[in-house]
Structure 1
């Protein structure tokens, strides 16, 4: 049996005497004999009530221990609860009957059962009801504990799932980016070796950034912005005049953090999911000073006709990755011909 309140030594020693006094007063009220309180404060009847309270609580607790060990998870069933109440009632009645009978026979020297039977029955009924109340108290604690454990398990499973999603997001390397970059590199090698070398260096920086931060939970926003600039450099070889990146309010991003690889992933999805041409250029604006500690990425809406399931999955992983660190959601909206993605900026104290 788990160490709940009913099994605490202090509870077992301190509560029965107090409860016994309450039962003594209750019995006096039943017998309409409250004037007896003025005669003495500590009399034999009061001591008897305290002892009976202790015997009742310990005997019923013993029954609860046995039943809980035997039934375990089945104790939550209605039939088991009814059975426990019945056994507790019977145990309380039997223990109190023999205890009170012994008191009257051996301490009060009563010779005939009929001379104290009414008092005995009153005490037995009163303490039998108290045994059921004790059982009810236990069941309240027990069922509440089960509910709390269930909620904790759900939260733990949710946390593990979020950790798994975060790991997937951090370990994700887009193979399409590598293939596109290699195609661009092949083209550069044939007419500009210096530019090809620079392109290889930038490509290495992009992938080194992804690999170096796979095991990190958060990175500084400054690092993410540098990674975004390096990625745009790679894409500008493919779209030299049709693609641009503008970063606003960088000073507001000082001391802020993000999930690793967020900006490169978002920019990659935006570029690969949009139609880009000399007549439809793509100008991406990153504003680090958005309201409510959000970083806002904006560009003209010009989505490709075919929906890329891989891009949708990457955005879904992004939502789940940020959910691990903050209650603020990742917001994706389209309005007035523009597409917006709002990413919550993280404070380091949120993740300590």
Structure 2
């Protein structure tokens, strides 16, 4: 917590001077008594400034709370009472003619009021700072989330994918293949899934598998046995959640960065390991292909971080490339 030292010292001195105003108006004014009283009050105010800054500074590192901590407030008031008692005793030693009992009662009440004002001022200042920080963080997350959605939409409606799909459909129609009609249905389903799912934050894995199934059907029509997909996910994992189009984008990433041919089939494996969904493929990088994880993976990592706080693990080996996605359970998300 940042408080100007000048503000601390000036306010403490002013409080000390104000505490001596009643003595200035008294008929039996005693300059020495007024000076000692002002010094005692100023010293107390100075000590309580720094003590409360320390107490509330420690509290700022703890989980954020909306309500005031009465334990910290009571501790601050008790500390102030002890400090003021010591200072009142020092005042009594300096001004031995003063009756200690009434004087102590007066300075203790004054100390409680000063301490309470300082604590509440610092608490409200801290709350305002934390609220501003939270609002800025929420705005940053909202901006990043919108950016992630935009990148996701750009990848879902990929013009190259649509162009390749239409070329494959054209070849199938020209050759009179019977798979042309199922191909059109799957292509239609894929873009219908795109429109229905793009506004959702999370969907079930079983729903994501429908999207992936439609996508793989379209790719199999193009690559035939050059693309081999193995789904080994257990039924329990199918009921977990993940951001929409996650698996589709990861499979698309595998196809994009690796050789896919009848002579050299690309094997993609989907399974669960250690509480994570693993997308794995044998590395057979295209010639001239840069060692890049791509925008799609960055998009997925960003969405996982925002939606679940989990981290996407990337294992980029010489033989195997693995993406590990943390499982998101519905009751945890709620």
Taking structure 2 as the reference length, what is the TM-score of the superposition?
0.70
- CA, structure 1 residues 339+89, in 2 after alignment: closer, same or farther (shift >3 Å)? closer
Which moves more between the two structures, 142-151 or 156-165? 142-151
2:262 to 261, 265, 278: 278
How far does residue 187 in structure 1 lie from its aligned partner after superposition? 0.2
Deviation readout 1:36-56 (Å, 9 max, x if unpaired): xxxxxxxxxxxxxxxxxxxxx
Which residue in 2 is equivalent to 1:307? 289
Which residue in 2 is equivalent to 1:118? 32
Question: Equivalent residues in 2 for 1:51-200 (5 A)?
Answer: 78=4, 81-82=5-6, 84-102=7-25, 104-105=26-27, 110=28, 113=29, 116-133=30-47, 135-136=49-50, 137=52, 138=118, 141=123, 144-145=126-127, 148-149=130-131, 151-172=133-154, 173-192=157-176, 194-200=178-184
SS state of the match for residue 195, structure 2? helix
Contact 1:88 1:135 in 2 (8 A): no
Q: What is the CA–CA distance in structure 2 between the aligned matches of 1:350 and 1:183, rounded to whole Å? A: 44
Any stretches of 5+ residues in structure 2 without a counterpart? 53-117
Deviation readout 1:284-306 (Å, 9 max, x if unpaired): 1111x221x21111121111123
How far does residue 152 in structure 1 lie from its aligned partner after superposition? 2.2
Contact 1:290 1:296 in 2 (8 A): yes
Deviation readout 1:76-119 (Å, 9 max, x if unpaired): 685xx41x2353244223322221243x53xxxx4xx4xx4433
Contact 2:314 2:322 in 1 (8 A): yes
Contact 2:283 2:321 in 1 (8 A): yes
Q: What is the CA–CA distance in structure 2 between the aligned matches of 1:141 and 1:299, rounded to whole Å? A: 55
Contact 1:247 1:286 in 2 (8 A): yes
Match status 1:322 vs 2:236: no
How far does residue 237 in structure 1 lie from its aligned partner after superposition? 1.2
How far does residue 322 in structure 1 lie from its aligned partner after superposition? 1.2
- CA, structure 1 residues 201+315, in 2 after alignment: closer, same or farther (shift >3 Å)? same
Q: What is the CA–CA distance in structure 1 between the aligned matches of 2:150 and 2:220, rounded to whole Å? A: 28
Q: What is the CA–CA distance in structure 2 between the aligned matches of 1:243 and 1:193, rounded to whole Å? A: 20
Which residue in 2 is equivalent to 1:29? none
Q: Between Structure 1 and Structure 2, whose CA radius of gyration is higher?
A: 1
How far does residue 266 in structure 1 lie from its aligned partner after superposition? 1.2
Instruction: Count how many residue pairs are aligned between Structure 1 and Structure 2.
Output: 264
SS state of the match for residue 283, structure 1? strand
Taking structure 1 as the reference length, what is the TM-score of the superposition?
0.67
SS state of the match for residue 342, structure 1? strand
Contact 1:76 1:143 in 2 (8 A): no
